[in-house]
Amino acid sequence: MTDVISTSRDADRFWSRIANELAQAIGQGVYAPGVRLPSEHSLAQQFGVNRHTIRRSLASLVQRGLVNASQGRGTFVASFAVELVLGKRTRHRHSLRHAGLRGALQVLKSALVEAGSDEAKALCVPEGSALLYLQVLGEGAGQPLHVSERFFPLPRFANLAQEVHNTGSISEAFARHGVADYLRQESRISARLPEKDVAELLAQSVSRPALLVTSVNVDTEGVPIEFSKAWFAGDRVTLTVNHHDS
Amino acid sequence: MTDVISTSRDADRFWSRIANELAQAIGQGVYAPGVRLPSEHSLAQQFGVNRHTIRRSLASLVQRGLVNASQGRGTFVASFAVELVLGKRTRHRHSLRHAGLRGALQVLKSALVEAGSDEAKALCVPEGSALLYLQVLGEGAGQPLHVSERFFPLPRFANLAQEVHNTGSISEAFARHGVADYLRQESRISARLPEKDVAELLAQSVSRPALLVTSVNVDTEGVPIEFSKAWFAGDRVTLTVNHHDS
DNA sequence: CGATATTTGTCCGTATGTATA
DNA sequence: GTATACATACGGACAAATATC
């Protein structure tokens, strides 16, 4: 007898079936964003399978970005999406305001470094030149949106770190250094999976894509004033490139 | 005695160590692109661990896009990276030529469709208007680089599909429809994990990031002539946005 | 074509380590 | 310190897809 094997053909594998069932439950809000899922042990009992089978299902959900697992704490449901504008005059604040959000920049690290080949080329300075290095976290809607490494030529922007810290804004800090206006020269965009450290700062899984944007800002004279490598949380951010510009 | 636990602190976990070792071997060409890795059983013996530990390592490599596993056949090493320019005047051919590559467009599907809300808004036509729909695959270096869905307003570009097919170029097809020049208005870029069908067309894993670029092209009069959603293979493509433009 | 071996995929069971509450 | 929960690793068994003879 060609018996009914499964009501729908989504039976597939146990772990896959369970993953889909959990994903659906999450989608329907049975498990809301931020909520802890039942423990692996408990899920294993619920579904009547081995704990490893549940682990396989959860691994799939982590990979799909639906949940984040944290050793010793539990497995939690994830979230969101924000649109940022990338143009000649990109300002973090303005982008966010445009998206109806408030946000600020936070200086995570500040240091004096020597220019490597990439930085030197971008900023048009000799290799080994002294640069100001900032690691900056950008937030919006209470969530990290991007984390960036920024390099500034040094005699000129010696006190920038403090200003960024005080004002929570790069453009404002520039303004206080006499740079009232500046332009973005070029942006290189790629989709990458973030390293663990970046992923943690972005509060996203290492298996979720991020946008890596490297860019150079120049002052109105065309002199490079900043080279940056910024990681954007792919799940929460869409970049919009304005070609005719504003 | 505080004995030496490991020569370097990269010991981490076995599976991670093994994964990195294999990744390095792949990077050094010990295992060249396309080559089959030793079987899990064999690797387990080589590294003196359980097969499941090797499987965990290989899962990591698959996830990182370094290898592809195929049931019954084996696990094979993967490949590449190309840079494409995104500007006011984006032309697939020119981008590739810039990257030192030759490539052509291939029309996968062609159909008449009604404008959905997105397409209608982008092309400034009423919803339900007749549009030409093309699914196009872009290749370079013998590999798929992007796959796109493109919508064209219809009375105007009735014969475009044939022209694209003949010339292997959108811009050339436009030219033959009397559009000698056109501009890109805006591009929205996000990092996404591709669906299975897109991933297959791009010949990449569903767990590897892709760049989704939606954009509108307008003719010199500012009339929208094309709305497109293009998926770029994240592992092989970097987009460069030229803000001052050429 | 069929039979068999190989190779990856799934699942169960157990034990131990490690981070957190 | 204790309990909980996730992480790693080992072991075995069988299924499914493929390759080979």
pLDDT digits (tens, 9 = 90+) for A70-116: 888 888 887 655 777 777 777 766 666 555 555 678 888 899 998 88
- pLDDT for residue A4: 30
A190 Cα to chain B: minimum distance (Å): 5
pLDDT reading at A166 higher than 60: yes
**Token pair in block for residue B176:** 């033959």
Q: Residues A4-11: what's their mean pLDDT?
A: 36
pLDDT reading at A150 higher than 90: yes
Name B48's Cβ contacts closer than 8 Å, sequence gap at least 6. Answer: none
Q: Residues A162-175: what's their mean pLDDT?
A: 88
For residues A141 and A99, give the distance between their C-alpha atoms in angstroms, rounded to a whole number: 10
Is A177 strand, coil or helix?
Answer: coil
- pLDDT for residue A239: 84
Name B246's Cβ contacts closer than 8 Å, sequence gap at least 6. Answer: B87, B88, B89
Q: Residues B166-188: what's their mean pLDDT?
A: 86
Q: Which of the two residues, B142 and B229, has the higher pLDDT score?
A: B229
- pLDDT 10s digits, A56-76: 999 888 877 778 888 888 888
- In A, minimum Cα distance to B238 occurs at A190
Measured in angstroms, what separates residue A47's CA from nucleotide D13's C1'? 22
CA dihedral sign of residues A198, A203, A207, A211: negative
Q: How confident is the model at residue A151 (pLDDT cuts 50, 70, 90)?
A: very high
Whether residue A192 and residue B183 make contact (CB cut-off 8 A), yes or no, is no
In the numeric block, the tokens 């094997």 are attached to: A5
- pLDDT for residue B8: 33
- pLDDT 10s digits, B88-141: 777 766 666 555 555 678 899 899 999 987 888 889 899 889 999 999 998 876
- pLDDT for residue A8: 35
- pLDDT for residue A103: 67
Q: Mean pLDDT score of chain B, rounded to an integer?
A: 82
Strand D CB shell (< 7 Å): A 37, 39-42, 52, 55, 58, 69-75; B 13-16, 49-50, 52-53, 56, 70-73
- pLDDT for residue A21: 86
Question: For the sheet containing B182-192, what is the strand order?
Answer: A82-86, A237-242, B182-192, B210-219, B224-233, B143-153, B130-140, B105-114
To test the contact with chain A by mutation, choose from B53, B90, B190, B228 the residue with the greatest count of A C-beta atoms within 10 A, namely: B190
- pLDDT for residue A135: 92
Q: Which of A219, A230, A226 is CA-nearest to residue A105? A: A230
| Residue A210 neighbours by CB distance under 10 Å | 27
Q: Which of the two residues, B21 and A89, has the higher pLDDT score?
A: B21
- Percent of chain B past pLDDT 90, that is, above it, reads 22
Residue B185 has its nearest CB partner, among A192, A193, A244, at A244
> CA distances (Å), A124 to each of A134, A157, A224, in order?
19, 15, 7
- pLDDT for residue B100: 53
Name the helix (H) or strand (E) containing B17: helix B14-27
Whether residue A243 and residue B244 make contact (CB cut-off 8 A), yes or no, is no
Q: How confident is the model at residue B3 (pLDDT cuts 50, 70, 90)?
A: very low
pLDDT reading at A240 higher than 90: no
Q: Mean pLDDT score of chain A, rounded to an integer?
A: 81
Q: How confident is the model at residue B236 (pLDDT cuts 50, 70, 90)?
A: confident
- pLDDT for residue A153: 93
Measured in angstroms, what separates residue B226's CA from nucleotide D5's C1'? 53
Measured in angstroms, what separates residue A144's CA from nucleotide D6's C1'? 25
**Token pair in block for residue A84:** 């940022």
For residues A27 and A29, give the distance between their C-alpha atoms in angstroms, rounded to a whole number: 5
Residue A234 has its nearest CB partner, among B185, B209, B244, at B209
pLDDT reading at A5 higher than 80: no
Instruction: Give the nucleotide with minimal C1' distance to the Cα of A38.
Output: D5
Q: Residues A150-154: what's their mean pLDDT?
A: 93
- pLDDT for residue B205: 77
Quote the DSSP letter at residue B36. Answer: B
**Token pair in block for residue B71:** 């049931």
Q: Residue B177: is it exposed, middle or buried by C-beta count within 10 angstroms (0-12/13-18/19+)?
A: middle
CA dihedral sign of residues A50, A56, A60, A65: positive
Residue B86 has its nearest CB partner, among A88, A232, A241, at A241
- pLDDT for residue B56: 92
Whether residue B244 and residue A88 make contact (CB cut-off 8 A), yes or no, is yes
- pLDDT for residue A120: 87
Give residue B217's Cα distance to chain centre. Answer: 21
> CA distances (Å), B75 to each of A96, B27, B30, B70, in order?
45, 16, 15, 6
Q: Residues B22-30: what's their mean pLDDT?
A: 77
- pLDDT for residue B190: 86
Q: What is the pTM of this model?
A: 0.76
Q: Determine which of A28-37, A217-226, B228-237 has the lowest per-residue pLDDT on average.
A: A28-37
- pLDDT 10s digits, A187-226: 888 888 887 788 888 888 777 888 999 888 988 888 899 9
pLDDT reading at B81 higher than 70: no
For residues A143 and A122, give the distance between their C-alpha atoms in angstroms, rounded to a whole number: 30
What is the β-pairing status of strands A82-86 and A237-242?
parallel
pLDDT reading at A28 higher than 80: no
A6 Cα to chain B: minimum distance (Å): 23
